[in-house]
Structure 1
Amino acid sequence: MWDKLLDRFLKGMMVADRLSLTYPDGSTRDYGPDTGATAHLEISDAATLRSIILNPDLGLGEGYMDGKIIPRNCTLDDVLTIIVRNRFKGTIPPWMLMANRARFHMRRFIQNNAPTASRKNVAHHYDISDDLYRLFLDQDMQYSCAYFVHDDMSLEEAQIAKKAHIAGKLCLEPGMHVLDIGCGWGGMALTLARDYGCRVTGITLSKNQLATAKHRAKAEGLSDQIEFRLQDYRHTEGTFDRIVSVGMLEHVGVPNFGTYFNRVAELLDPDGVALIHTIGRSAPPMTHSSWINKYIFPGGYVPSLSELAPAMEQSGLWQMDIEVWRLHYAKTIRHWRDRFDAHLDEISATYDDRFVRMFRYYLTVCIMAFEQQMQGVYHLQLAHKRDAVPLTRDYLYDAATPAAASIMHERRQA
């Protein structure tokens, strides 16, 4: 039964590329035209066929994690590129469309993300182990999209450029008090304190990140300029000259967008500037990945700009600038995956094969999202006053940390 349903599904979906599938009984069937890209998958048991039919996104991810779905004579990139590229081009069976619509309408319940749930969700991913993240992130442990001013930049250079670009948009002056919402391991806060002379309050819901951030601030002699807190943005009080939030809005959830932007408005000084860096969709809203929600980012969601705009408008803040980064995150994650693969022996000594396959699948499917889907990164620059920043973007390309300016100078001279 399940093989017949999957056969019907793939016949309708595959319209641009060729996918060969070996079923549990050993038979192989080809789907799609004999043109475009090709890939070959083997599925080893009937239970996996059933899972794919009931929830393709979850079934495919779990099948790969469990070693029940195996790419043959091709890479995981090849397989996921074909699947992602064809999933919206072909015909999807009615029962899958109905299930997808149901999951879409359930997102307000799934993403409720009350403070207690938010802390639990963050711990699920960020409190695994700092040692794991150190193996594949840059030296500053920036776990967000880097900014590749030049294609051949190293990951370290691109992350420095990212921080410099954000700092430029904040229009910083020494002594300003900056709130860093979702401060991670403290890299942005350290940069703003060290290179721009700011006071920084960084908040996170991750105990691991908090401990590492505090340790780093102490090691650099910046504890008097930086305060890190284990705190929800909804519980933060005070007024700040500047607010920065990098890679945190994706954890807020649809029901809380209004609360989030209202809190930014309340915490931001009347003359202040905020910069929100978030993954976003340049297309209508869609159902979040069931697999990502279960195994990687519970309660997470990639918003479309159409979902964020009403909340920004109702906050009363001016939208000073909205910039879209295309493909920068795909390049970033490819660097991460290369480093992850380079340390497989170390990672496998600590984690089992299923975890390793899960994490590698996560990195790969995220690459595909940025390379094959309408997904990018938004920079939302907000303020209470329409003249809080210069009227053109020209000022941005003179604003850089000494380190970033040195990199840019060397590149121009090469």
Structure 2
Amino acid sequence: MLFTAILRSIVRDGSLCVIDSTGRPHAIGDGSPPAATMRLTSKACEYTLALNPALSVGEAYMDGRLAIEDGSLYDFLDVVARNYGVSGTNPWVALLERLGQGVKQANPIGRARRNVAHHYDLSSDLYSMFLDSDRQYSCAYFESPEDTLEAAQENKKRHIAAKLTLDRPGLKVLDIGSGWGGMALYLAEKFGADVTGVTLSTEQHEYSMQRAAGSPAGLRVRFELRDYREVEGPFDRIVSVGMFEHVGKKNYAEFFTRVRDLLTEDGVALIHTIGYADAPAPINPFMRKYIFPGADLPSLSEIFAAVEPLGLLVTDVEILRLHYAETLRHWRERFMARADEAAALYDERFVRMWEFYLVLCEIGFRRRTMVVFQMQLTRRIDILPTTREYIARAEENAVASLQRENWSV
């Protein structure tokens, strides 16, 4: 069986057992943990898995044609990812990966709206099952392994606010891809900023508007259902968390040109995005087809190539390693604990699709080259302090301010 041959060419450390459609087991690996056993339920599945495993493994699991009998889906993908690129990659798999590298998708506003609706306009009840109470759907910041998801997401917002240098109230802030409103409300409530959040998701927009109506800073924050390319500036600060992944490689220059044009001469922008720590590569085809249509992940070289000709200065870059892996672990465990509710909301196939998505992403951050970039941009070289100490000081001041608020309650 060709699929088994591909796995044997990859896996040396760890153990897999593939039971084919005739019931015959195929042992792979050295017998050490982690271990997983999977059963293929059709002869056709044995061929499709070999033709394009990057896509078809997820499809087979989602449709029930690949079932995990011992161990877990996480164990299966972890064994493959731990060995991939270490003991030698199957040349057929490498060829399939290279085939997608030249794809650069256009992202007109109409298509961008449809792509966003595919994922973010799902039921609000679904996201409440696994996100924190503020609905931060992006990488948290774990200052300690003991941090709860709620604490780590609060850390993330504070860390980003520090890099924005919100040193006086009333600064005009644009939040590109404002999600369910948590970041915009945080900046308005904690720092007195005047914030405009833009999203293409009708569900997120409605939820954000409801939150703004109940916020003590409601008069300083507004949410608009529009594309960032339709916004008029200028803004003192621009923040974008988890949106750049949806821009598309072909459109990086357009995105940063708009950031430059919307930013005041002494403004600061902070872009937070998933990316690759190595050479440019296409996004996983399962993710693009079923989870985030139109999405792509940048390498730093692609971002810098887009930024450098535009008169923007990269003033700081931080690489968050493993923080998203921990975030996804929390999300996966929460989601699977309420899988029955998700199945009642959609169906079992949807649950398996989302389980595969969450596991695949977590493995990507733990075993492969996925990281998170936080990139700070300005139009002038003298806007920010010359050392990074101001970031830590701003975070310390924010923590002290929160403690004073708690004591006064």
Assess same fold via TM > 0.5.
Answer: yes
User: For residues 243 and 181 of structure 1, what CA distance do their matches in structure 2 show?
Assistant: 7
- What is the CA distance between 1:201 and its match in structure 2? 0.7
User: 5+ unaligned residues in a row in structure 2: which ranges?
Assistant: 405-409
Matched, 1:297 2:292: yes
Q: Which secondary structure does the structure 2 equivalent of 1:400 belong to? A: helix
User: For residues 339 and 29 of structure 2, what CA distance do their matches in structure 1 show?
Assistant: 35
Q: Is the 8 A contact 1:51 1:58 kept in 2?
A: no
Deviations 1:124-173 (A, max 9, x none): 00001111101211111100011111111111111111101100000012
User: 5+ unaligned residues in a row in structure 1: which ranges?
Assistant: 410-414
Q: What does residue range 8-407 of structure 1 map to in structure 2 within 5 Å?
A: 8-35=5-32, 37-105=34-102, 107-108=103-104, 111-172=105-166, 173-400=168-395, 404-405=399-400
- What is the CA distance between 1:331 and its match in structure 2? 0.7
Deviations 1:357-394 (A, max 9, x none): 11111111111010001111111011011121111111
Tell me the TM-score normalized by structure 1: 0.93
Q: Which secondary structure does the structure 1 equivalent of 2:333 belong to? A: helix
**1:408–1:82 CA distance, 2 compared to 1 (3 A):** farther
Q: Which secondary structure does the structure 2 equivalent of 1:141 belong to? A: coil
**1:408–1:319 CA distance, 2 compared to 1 (3 A):** farther
Over the aligned positions, Cα root-mean-square deviation in angstroms equals 1.8
Deviations 1:39-73 (A, max 9, x none): 22211112222221121011110111111212222
User: For residues 395 and 161 of structure 1, what CA distance do their matches in structure 2 show?
Assistant: 16
Tell me the TM-score normalized by structure 2: 0.94
Task: Single out whichever of 259-268 and 27-36 deviates more from structure 2.
Answer: 27-36
Q: Which secondary structure does the structure 2 equivalent of 1:300 belong to? A: coil
Deviations 1:338-368 (A, max 9, x none): 2112222322221210001111111111110
Amino acid at match of 1:223: G
Deviations 1:89-148 (A, max 9, x none): 35555554443322222x21xx32221111100000000111110121111110001111
Q: Which secondary structure does the structure 2 equivalent of 1:269 belong to? A: strand
User: For residues 169 and 94 of structure 1, what CA distance do their matches in structure 2 show?
Assistant: 43
Q: Is the 8 A contact 2:4 2:18 kept in 1?
A: no
- What is the CA distance between 1:32 and its match in structure 2? 2.7
Q: 1:412: which partner in 2?
A: none
User: For residues 328 and 262 of structure 2, what CA distance do their matches in structure 1 show?
Assistant: 32
Q: Is the 8 A contact 2:11 2:83 kept in 1?
A: yes
Aligned positions, number: 403
- What is the CA distance between 1:222 and its match in structure 2? 3.2
- What is the CA distance between 1:11 and its match in structure 2? 2.7
User: For residues 95 and 13 of structure 1, what CA distance do their matches in structure 2 show?
Assistant: 11
Amino acid at match of 1:78: D
Q: Is the 8 A contact 1:157 1:404 kept in 2?
A: no
Amino acid at match of 2:116: V
Identity score, percent: 45
Amino acid at match of 1:13: I
Task: Single out whichever of 47-56 and 350-359 deviates more from structure 2.
Answer: 47-56
Q: 2:407: which partner in 1?
A: none
User: For residues 395 and 67 of structure 1, what CA distance do their matches in structure 2 show?
Assistant: 52
Task: Single out whichever of 343-352 and 318-327 deviates more from structure 2.
Answer: 343-352
User: For residues 401 and 123 of structure 1, what CA distance do their matches in structure 2 show?
Assistant: 38
Q: Is the 8 A contact 2:172 2:237 kept in 1?
A: yes
Amino acid at match of 2:161: A
Q: Is the 8 A contact 1:325 1:378 kept in 2?
A: yes
Amino acid at match of 2:286: W
Q: Which secondary structure does the structure 2 equivalent of 1:224 belong to? A: helix
Deviations 1:305-359 (A, max 9, x none): 1111111112211111000111111111111112112222322221210001111
